[in-house]
Structure 1
Amino acid sequence: MSAPHPSVAACRSAVRQALDGMPIGTKVWVALSGGPDSLALAAATAYVGRKEGYLTGAIIVDHGLQAGSDRVAQHAAEQARLAGIYSVFVERVVVGRDGGLEAAARKARYDAINARVDTEGGHDPQILTGHTMDDQAETVLLALARGSGARALSGIPPRRGRIARPFLSVRRSDTVGACSAQGLTPWHDPTNTDPDGPRRSALRASVMPALVDVLGPGVVSGLARSAALLQADADELDRQARSAMQTSTSTVRADEWRCDMLAALPDAIRSRMLKMLAEAKGAGPLTTVHVNALDALVTQYKGQGAVSLPGGYEARREYGRLVISHPLERPAT
């Protein structure tokens, strides 16, 4: 028996590592768009599932945003079965506009996938997505352009809850090669390489090829390695911030924090802690502008008024303490 094509082997190895330790009978769902990344993922998952005793399935979300999206979804379902996955669901969603079209589509997609997984049940089901090393590199560059911190620069997490991303160690060229080697016909979304399309598409079509030309093909793996290193750093800083938050909340009321204690913390810990404190109250998500304003209340107080936060919350300084509340929660005076 001949060895599998190198791209096929790379995809299977990545899935096997992501699911290592999962018990026999675990339900493993592939979030399938029909593109080469998710279709290669479906084929690799089907293979690993047969070998390891997992129950595999695919969930296709039809966003209805492009003409013929129903045909694209049907083609993806056919290819999933050809790849060896026979439990296939097509979920049709209505995409809102909150936060922009891309964010709204992402929310609708994950909501539909999670709802289907919950409906089908099973103990600790897993959801796999086809994000690749190239996606990771693009994410890091976009975060860098926005002037983001270490958490955003750490890119796409390899796992969050039951969602795993095995292909963050796999190049996009390998997913294309794996589909070709296995006789699969992926759908190529024209917006993914449109220089006049969404920002990520323009980055993919124009910027990444230019970077590879100038810096060499290693730029993609280099950006991905940077993301992995920053992920570990950000996780540790978040851990320290949570520890500091527990210490602070044990000395005062649950909704007040002493500014002198906060100011004494290292900047990297304090900024994370302020974000956690506000979002724990229900205000969020916070941007860098919000966090900087909170930090100024703590470290550079000159009598400034309350800081407005998302969700109608506000932060203010009272008697040397930082207080975060919603105006409707405060008792009338």
Structure 2
Amino acid sequence: MAAPSASLIVRTAVKALLQHTDPDRIAVGVSGGADSLALAVAASTLTEVTAVIVDHGLQHNSAEVAETAAEQLRQRDIKAKIVRIQVGTHGGPEAAARKARYEALRHHGDLVLLGHTLDDQAETVLLGLGRGSGPRSIAGMRALDPPWGRPLLTVRRATTVQACRELGLEPWRDPHNEDQRFTRVRLRHEVIPLMEEVLQGGVPGALARTADQLREDLDALDAWSARILESAEDKGTLQVAALRDVPVAVRKRVLRSWLKDAGVAELTAGHLRSVDALVSEWRGQGPVWLPGGFAARRGHGTLCVHKPDREP
């Protein structure tokens, strides 16, 4: 029995995701690269979509790249729209471009399909692991995280390239994907190939499976912490007695959710440890100062969070 074609593999992956959602409007984020072009064509064979090509204006030929991608899709009777945006500088060029792109895309569909592949997932897991940024980053990207849909997380990048060949599409090759100044590029071309050699293959798939398993664990812990928060919270305060014997992994989730609900943003691991110490290492210490001018304190068996200019 012959192996399925690359274009059929892509189409099957998209169909599997669409079976779990029923949006009124579906958009596909298209960069002009192989992943997003193959995705847009596959999705258009299953339902009505709008391809949204975001032009960041960061490269001299970005307008031409956008027009070429749009024309290829229009020739296949796929609605294509070019959106030109301005990119800020906060957080570095990669983060700023990503933020601007997502903001532009989210306005064009109840579900926005993105062309992230299994290889992108593997790189994301390695980045999170190397930066020590916690289990959520190692858990990678979700296939369905409304309004975002990533149907190609089980599909290799090479498959989307082959799918474009089969479909007669000419994808754009982003020079940034070869620029060794970017950490993700070095992971792609240096680290993962070395791991493949040392571990005798299968590394991207193994990293993606690790992300899947970790997300299942995180979902279970999040559900547990939500139940604890509901039982411990009383008019914006937390009852210490309801938290004292809770496992630390769950208790910190409870505290993070409680603080975010109170308006505290940009919490670090250090902030969370200090607030947790008000429960687990109580010895009469004073308030814990938090971003945004908030303070968390313990008194009379409860935790409260407030700004100093407001009554706790």
In the other structure, the counterpart of 1:189 is 174
Query: Does the CA-based 8 Å contact 1:259-1:321 persist in structure 2?
Result: yes
Answer with 128-137 or 3-12: which moved more. Answer: 3-12
Partner of 1:253: 235
- For 2:116 and 2:108, the matched residues in 1 are separated by 20
Matches within 5 A, 1:111-126: 111-117=103-109, 125-126=110-111
**Which ranges in structure 2 are unaligned for 5 or more consecutive residues?**
none
Instruction: Give 1:242's aligned amino acid.
Output: A
* Alpha-carbon contact 2:54-2:101 (below 8 Å) kept: yes
In the alignment, which of 55, 72, 84 is matched to residue 62 of structure 1? 55
CA offset at residue 41 of structure 1?
A: 0.5
Q: Which letter maps to 2:48?
A: L
Contact 1:315 1:324 in 2 (8 A): yes
Shift of 1:139: 0.8
Q: What does residue range 217-296 of structure 1 map to in structure 2 within 5 Å?
A: 217-249=201-233, 252-254=234-236, 256-296=237-277
Aligned-residue RMSD, C-alpha: 2.1
What is the deviation of 1:278? Answer: 0.8
Partner of 1:96: 88
Kindly indicate whether the alpha-carbon contact (under 8 Å) linking 1:306 and 1:317 is maintained by their aligned counterparts in 2.
yes
Q: Write 1 or 2 for the structure with the bigger share of helix.
A: 1
8 Å CA contact retained: 1:259, 1:299: no
Shift of 1:263: 2.2
Q: Which amino acid aligns with 1:47?
A: T
Contact conserved, 2:228 with 2:242, CA < 8 A, in 1? no
Which residue of the other structure, out of 301, 304, 308, is the alignment partner of 1:327? 308
CA contact (8 A) 1:56 1:85 kept: no
Deviation for aligned residue 1:101 = 2.9
Counterpart position of 1:87? 79
Query: 2:292: which partner in 1?
Result: 311
Shift of 1:93: 1.3
Q: Do the aligned partners of residues 308 and 36 (structure 1) sit closer, same or farther apart at CA in structure 2, a change above 3 Å counting?
A: farther
Q: Partner of 1:203 in structure 2?
A: 187
- Is the CA contact 1:154–1:228 (under 8 Å) kept in the aligned structure 2? yes
Moved more, 260-269 or 165-174: 260-269
Kept after mapping to 2: 8 A contact 1:61/1:91? yes
Q: Which residue of 2 aligns with 1:106?
A: 98
Change (3 A) 1:70 1:302: farther
- Cross-structure match for 1:121: none
CA displacement, residues 94-121 of structure 1 (integer Å, 9 cap, x when unaligned): 122333332222221111112233xxxx
Q: Tell me: CA distance 1:105–1:246, structure 2 relative to 1, closer, same or farther (3 Å).
A: same
Separation in 2, partners of 1:327, 1:313 = 7
How far is 1:62 from its partner?
A: 1.2
Given that residues 27 and 108 in structure 2 are in contact (C-alpha distance below 8 angstroms), is that contact kept between their aligned partners in structure 1? no
Whether the aligned pair in 2 keeps the contact of 1:80 and 1:88 (CA below 8 Å) is yes
Aligned 8 A contact 1:193 1:204 in 2? no
- Corresponding residue SS for 1:226: helix
Match of 1:75 in 2: 68
2:19 aligns to what?
20
Query: 3-state DSSP class of the match of 1:239?
Result: helix
The answer on whether the counterparts of 2:44 and 2:78 sit within 8 Å (CA) in structure 1 is no
Amino acid in the other structure paired with 1:74: E
Structure 1 position 230, deviation (Å): 0.8
Per-residue CA shift, 1:47-99, capped at 9, x if unaligned? 22xxxxx21110111112222221221122123224x3531111111122333
Distance 1:63 1:313, change over 3 A: farther
Moved more, 100-109 or 39-48: 100-109
CA distance in 2 between counterparts of 1:310 and 1:36 reads: 42
- Residues 312, 100 of structure 1: alpha-carbon distance in 2 compared, 3 angstrom cutoff: farther
Q: Which one of 114, 117, 132 corresponds to residue 132 of structure 1?
A: 117
Partner of 1:34: 32
Structure 1 partner of 2:200: 216
The number of residue pairs the alignment matches comes to: 311
Distance 1:116 1:297 in 2: 45
- Equivalent-residue separation in structure 2 for 1:288 and 1:302 (angstroms): 21
Q: In the superposition, relative to structure 1, how do residues 76 and 290 fare at CA in structure 2: closer, same or farther (>3 Å)?
A: farther
Can you give the 5+ residue segments of structure 1 that lack an aligned partner in the other structure?
49-53, 118-124
| In structure 1, distance between residues paired with 2:143 and 2:293 | 33
C-alpha deviation, 1:21, in angstroms: 5.5
